[in-house]
Amino acid sequence: MPELPEVETTRYGIAPALEGQKITALVIREPRLRWPIPKDLPEKLQGQIVNSVKRRAKYLLLETQSGSAMIHLGMSGSMRIVSTQDAPEKHDHFDIVTAAGDIIRYNDPRRFGSLLWAGLNPDTHALLRKLGPEPLEEGFTGVYLWESSRSRRISIKQHIMNSKVVAGVGNIYANEALFMAGIHPARQAGRIALPRMENLSKEIKTVLTAAIKQGGTTLRDYRGGDGKPGYFKQELRVYERGNQPCKTCGTPIKQIVQGQRATYYCKHCQR
C-alpha cells in the first residue's frame, strides 16, 4: 500500500485521536512484524502522552515525553481508529488504546511493517540516521539531486528510489515523476544534466503534493486513517498502464523491470 502520500494521509487520519491523549495500553496480538515488536514497548508507552504525530520518510513517529514510537506500514499496512466494542479482525497485529477510549488499530497482512522504539532523538535511530532529505522540504533540490548522482551508473529511477538519496519516493511516484519530467527511467543517473534534475526534483514535489491532496493512491485495498480510499489513482499517467495509450501522445506505455520492480514509461515522451 503505502508510499509517502499514503503515510501522510494515515498521519492526518490518526493524529486527532492521539495528539494530547494519554496512552493507557499497547495491546500486541502478533509481535512478528519485519522486526519483532520489542517486549518492553507496552510498559514504555503506558501512561505516556502523545505530544505530536510526525512523519520521517515513511515512518510515523508518535512523540512522547520519554521518546518516540516508530511505525512503518511496509507494503500492506494500514491504521484505523476503532472503539472498544470493535472485535479485532485478521491481521490486526496491535492496538494503541487511549484514555479517551479510542483504539488506533494496526493491520498488516504481509507483516513487512514495524513498530519500534526510537528514544528522545529519533533522527539518531539506526533506521533513520542514513536517510536522505525529505522530498517536500527545501533541502531537496535539483542541485542536490544532480550532485548526489555524479559518477553514479545506476538508473535514475533506482537512484531516486534509494532512501539514502531522498527519503520516501516509492515505485508509483518514481514512475509518475519521471514521466512528468520527460526522463527515461533507465537513463544513467550520472549522465543527466542539471536543468533536467531541476525539473525532476520539481516534479517529485508536485506529484507527491498532489497525491497527498487526493488522500493518496488506492490500488487495491488501501484506506487512509479515516477509512476513505485515496483518489490519486485516476491521476496516474503511467503506473499500471502497460500497453495503454500515453495520455500525452498515444504511444503504448512500455512496461519493464528494474531492480525487481515494475517500471512504466512512454518511449516517445521520456528520453
Residues 217-249 as b/e (b if ≥16 CB within 10 A, e otherwise) read bbbeebbbbeeebbebbeebbbbebeeeebeee
**What is the secondary structure of 132-198 as a DSSP string?**
---TTSTT--HHHHHHHHTT--SBHHHHHT-TTTSTT--HHHHHHHHHHHT--TTSBGGG--HHHHH
The full 3-state SS of 109-136, as one line of letters, equals: CCCCCEEEECCCCHHHCHHHHCCCCCCC
262 binds DNA (CB under 7 A): yes
Binding of DNA at residue 168 (CB under 7 A)? yes
Residue with grid cell 521518546, as numbered in its chain: 67
Which lies closer to DNA via its Cβ, residue 21 or residue 77?
Answer: 77
Position among 83, 85, 151, 234 found at the interface with DNA (CB under 7 A): 151
Which of the ranges 67-75, 133-141, 178-186, 246-254 carries the binding residues for DNA, by CB under 7 A?
67-75
Among 27, 75, 136, 186, binds DNA (CB under 7 A): 75
Nearer to DNA, 43 or 164 (CB): 164
Which CB atom, from 22 or from 34, has the smaller least distance to DNA? 34
Q: Would you please indicate which residues are annotated as catalytic (active-site) residues? A: 2-3, 58, 261
Is the separation of the CB atoms in 97 and 170 below 8 Å?
no
Q: Report the residue number, 56 or 196, with the smaller CB distance to DNA.
A: 56
- The contact mask relative to DNA for 96-115 (x = CB under 7 A, - = no) is -------------xxxx---
Grid cell locating 48: 505516556
Does 11 engage in binding with DNA (CB under 7 A)?
A: no
Q: CB of 148: closest distance to DNA in angstroms?
A: 9
Exactly one of 69, 172, 200, 238 binds DNA (CB under 7 A); which one? 172
Terminal-to-terminal C-alpha distance of the chain: 29
Q: Does 220 bind DNA (CB under 7 A)?
A: yes
How many binding residues for DNA (CB under 7 A)? 43
> By CB under 7 A, is residue 127 in contact with DNA?
yes
Q: Is 135 in the site for DNA (CB under 7 A)?
A: no
Cα-based distances in Å from 141 to 5, 26, 27, 112: 19, 40, 42, 31
Q: Which of 122, 135, 170, 215 binds DNA (CB under 7 A)?
A: 170
**Is the CB of 85 or the CB of 260 nearer to DNA?**
260
Interface residue with DNA among 37, 50, 57, 204 (CB under 7 A) is 57
CA distances to 25, 72, 163, 166 from 130, in Å:
31, 16, 8, 10
d(Cα 16, Cα 225) in Å, to the nearest integer? 10
**Residue 92 within binding range of DNA, rule CB under 7 A:** no
Question: Helix, strand, or coil here: 93?
Answer: strand
90 binds DNA (CB under 7 A): yes
- Residue 231 near DNA by CB under 7 A: no
Smallest gap, in angstroms, from Cβ of residue 222 to DNA? 3
